[in-house]
Structure 1
Amino acid sequence: MNPVFTRVPRDRMSWSVLVAPLLALLLSTGLVLVVPSSTASAAAAPSCRLSRTLVPSCPGALSGAFIAPHSGESPAASVSRFERESGRRASIVHYYYRGDRLFPSTAESRSLRVGSGRRILFANWKPDDGYTWRQVANGAADGRLIREARHLRQNWNYRTFLAIHHEPENEVVAQAGSGFTALDYRAMYRHVVKVFRAQGASNVVWVMNYMGAQKWATQPWYDQLWPGRSYVDWIAFDPYKTAGLGGQDGGFSTLVNQYWGATSWRGAYRWARQKHPLKPVMLAEWGVGERSGDAGWKRDFFRGIAQQLPKFPALRALVYFDNDAADIAGNVSIDTTSQSLQGFRSFVRSGAVARIG
């Protein structure tokens, strides 16, 4: 089914309002309405709606991806290819931006359209390009912020995930005055949110996107990155299961809570639930590589998600990183082999994925 996302703040009309009069007419005239059993089951199922902050009301997580385009592909063509391969519509399409480039572009807007509805844009933006975090917090990039806020309000007035400078941990310079302390990051994030709100960009759903790696999470300044409850709608992490990133032992549960050794840190999901229990959690990037000597490992990893996801009730969005040449991670595309693709198809068609639209 095509996911449908309406323009803010229009409400969708209940399907029953449209169907009930037609059904009454058919019954009154003695006509018999024959509905295939699969359609009848779908019609009887409760509608899965999205909250103001894009949390699905039904079980499972929203599914989507960053899709690295093949040579010569437009954004729309790359999304269509990904969906053909995976066998399911993507609810979220993830793009990365920096600096003055306004988003989404016209070409990207086309990739987000699904008939009369829309896929959800997940924009990951570094507004500090050319500035320190402290300079942005102090207003140096306000012209850039205002232009983007107005662009989103006027040209893409749909609910949009927006992360501000994702994975800041490995860029922190802890010395006071560096412009890149954890507190400088927090101040920058808050300032961006304030400017957007002042410009009336009420369609933005704010994402705090951590790397979520133990190396940084155990630093004394880690908690200082947090912008504050009123500035964050979702918490996100970027875990991988590859030989070069995180290792390849265990299944989906170990991806969500990667950690090692004797430490107070027991994984990103546990940290989020302990520190910020009211916030939904997403994997803003996640990728799985092939395991040397085990041709079916990646397929089985994908297949196991449906059984393991219920252990993580706050995990409401899974945004894959579909790239055959990712930095460090390598080839984590969904179709590294036919078996891998088979496993991914099993995952997106399972109860792990929220059925919206």
Structure 2
Amino acid sequence: MISHPRTARVLRPTRMLAAVMLASTLLAGCTTFSGKGRDEYNRAQGEQPGADSSAGASASAKAEPPYDVRSLLQPAKKYLGVAADGAPTKMTGVADFAKRGGKKPNLVEFYSAWGDQYESQLVQKTWDYGALAFIAWEPFDASLKDIASGKEDDYIRTYAKSVKSLNLPVAISFAHEMNGFWYPWGSKKATAAQFTAAFKHVHDLFDDEGATQVIWVWSPNVVNPMPKVKLKPYWPGDDYVDWVGVIGYYAATGPSTYKTLYGPTMSQVRSFTKKPFIIAETAAQAGERKPADIADLFQGTAERSDVVGLVWFNFDKETDWRINSGPLSEQAFKKQAADPNFGFDVTKP
């Protein structure tokens, strides 16, 4: 478990789907959204000219079609992601990571607290940089029970409408590490049934609002610290999840290989779904073993066709997880990141 940093945030006030979808567009798989959600966008394409009265709108303009995220779900190459200090509010940490790592990341993760508005500017800024935004949405200020029961619907709908309005792809991980005991939505303070009900309810409200630009990420912690907490009861179902975002770090003690760190979790997951994995949060603790850990992470990810990439937690927090914690670590990361299997243009996957 890592205590996550927060980006500066705005406190609560409170793009293509064609009409005819060719088979070739389906090669990357399907999103979890229902036909109803997609129909919302088909109807939007038929809006009458002039319906948008905002300044400068062309009288003959048609509604912009929704961003179709399917090509981003299982791309031919793998994501090279990062969570970096201050990003994406300030991209200096991402730029430094890219310089030291020898390659620009194409996915940037940041953390958003429940009650925050959808941070459209940060998602846009990330996209303009050439990366997909990945938001870890943390419900600190609302219980899973209340979310599932509808008490937070106004907030969720407002958030979903903003996602739809921006019309850029975004990955969202709701209530990550739910199988752990360290968060208020975790195993000690909430049940698996409450988690799945809340996850499904949030997804359904986005669907209802037609916010189909989301890649939904279900993100358990690796099961090693709590082997008795089984994952299947926490599974919302294939209709609700696009990526399985496994979270696990190479620490000084404990599992130290890809197989022992991620294997038990992936084996459990494969017993109930074939959805692709992404290593949603990882890094290696500073020390003599770190260069080997970095190599193991990249090579393990490269060898598995069902893992779409990784996200490196590039912080000096609690311990120095940064790729530049030592010269050999930085050198190892740069060597592994040079693998052409990692990194691609998310705007043209």
Same fold (TM over 0.5): yes
Paired residue for 2:104?
89
TM-score with structure 1 length normalisation?
A: 0.71
- Counting aligned pairs with the same residue, the percent is 20
Change (3 A) 1:307 1:321: closer
The 5-angstrom pairing of residues 122-271 of structure 1 reads: 122-126=134-138, 128-155=139-166, 157-169=167-179, 170=181, 171=183, 180-219=190-229, 222-243=231-252, 246-247=254-255, 249=256, 251-257=257-263, 267-271=264-268
Q: Secondary structure at the match of 2:334?
A: helix
- Separation in structure 1 between the aligned mates of residue 127 and residue 121 of structure 2, nearest angstrom: 10
- Separation in structure 2 between the aligned mates of residue 232 and residue 99 of structure 1, nearest angstrom: 20
Paired residue for 1:302?
294
Match of 2:116 among 98, 101, 106: 101
Q: Report how far residue 84 of structure 1 moved.
A: 1.7
Change (3 A) 1:272 1:345: same
Change (3 A) 1:349 1:311: closer
Paired residue for 1:285?
281
Q: Secondary structure at the match of 1:214?
A: coil
Paired residue for 1:32?
none
Q: Report how far residue 89 of structure 1 moved.
A: 1.4
Paired residue for 2:339?
350
- Separation in structure 1 between the aligned mates of residue 299 and residue 221 of structure 2, nearest angstrom: 25
State which structure, 1 or 2, has the greater radius of gyration over its C-alpha atoms: 1
- Separation in structure 2 between the aligned mates of residue 91 and residue 187 of structure 1, nearest angstrom: 32
Change (3 A) 1:69 1:311: same
Matching of residue 338 in structure 1 with residue 327 in structure 2: yes
Paired residue for 1:274?
271
RMSD: 2.6
Q: Secondary structure at the match of 2:198?
A: helix
Contact 2:84-2:94 at 8 Å conserved across structures: yes
- Separation in structure 1 between the aligned mates of residue 193 and residue 265 of structure 2, nearest angstrom: 20
In structure 2, give the amino acid aligned to 1:200.
G
In structure 1, give the amino acid aligned to 2:171.
F
For structure 1, which runs of at least 5 residues remain unmatched after alignment? Answer: 1-6, 12-49, 258-266
Contact 1:322-1:334 at 8 Å conserved across structures: yes
For structure 2, which runs of at least 5 residues remain unmatched after alignment? Answer: 1-14, 22-67
- Separation in structure 2 between the aligned mates of residue 252 and residue 84 of structure 1, nearest angstrom: 26
